[in-house]
Amino acid sequence: MPFNKLLINIIVSGINVFILSRYVYLLYHKKISPSLAMWTFFTLTVGISLFTYFAEGDYSISDNMLNFTDLILATGVSVAILIWGDTSTRFNRFDAGCLLAVLVIIAFWSVSNNHIVTNYSVQVILVISYFPVIRRMMHQNKNTEDFSVWIALLLAAPISLLANKGLLASVYAIRAFLCTGTLLLLMLRIELINRKKGESSTSIT
């Protein structure tokens, strides 16, 4: 493996280790309440994405390190939420609907054995996976996520592009970058709105 590819993969892996450690720490100390539904969807779909990537061509883990380490991250965070997450992180009807969409994709894959179409469909589901946390934050008008975690996720995607091999790996990274960037903008918007409300309340009193 070329040194630059090895270095990039180490950086991407290190970022995801940091994210998982940070999530466990914040969950244990009850500082955040991430969506169990979102991370469960991540675990299922990231796993399918990785499997279909390998099935589509002659690739190794180092050719799509972001997808591989994301699977470890998503599984770890899901377990951490189950252990330390509060009741607001559990599944509701909206989340169940999203889960049904994931299961439809899995059923299509098992019947068609079309790895490329399934992989692209999974990327769509990975976008849908963000809906539960976006809906919950907008409904509660509260940022339930940590900025450092999502900034790290945002950085990992473009860095991984430098070492990725194959179109599917690039599509995965670009989709991840766009999704995390969108969620970060929503988090920032909610924080700014709540800060303005706080300042208004202070000035009135």
Q: Return mean pLDDT, the chain.
A: 87
Tokens of 58: 């002659």
Q: State pLDDT tens for residues 116-168.
A: 888 888 888 888 878 878 888 888 888 888 999 999 999 999 999 999 999 99
Structural contact between residues 45 and 125, judged by C-beta atoms closer than 8 angstroms:
yes
The arithmetic mean of pLDDT across residues 159-180, rounded, is 93
Within 10 angstroms of residue 150's Cβ, the number of other Cβ atoms is 17
Does 75 score more than 90 pLDDT? yes
**Is the pTM above the cut of 0.75?**
yes
Structural contact between residues 130 and 167, judged by C-beta atoms closer than 8 angstroms:
no
Q: Quickly state the pLDDT bin for 89 (edges 50, 70, 90).
A: low
Residue 91 amino acid letter: F
Residue 58: helix, strand or coil by DSSP?
coil
Does 41 score more than 70 pLDDT? yes
Does 204 score more than 60 pLDDT? no
Does 169 score more than 60 pLDDT? yes
pLDDT of residue 139: 85
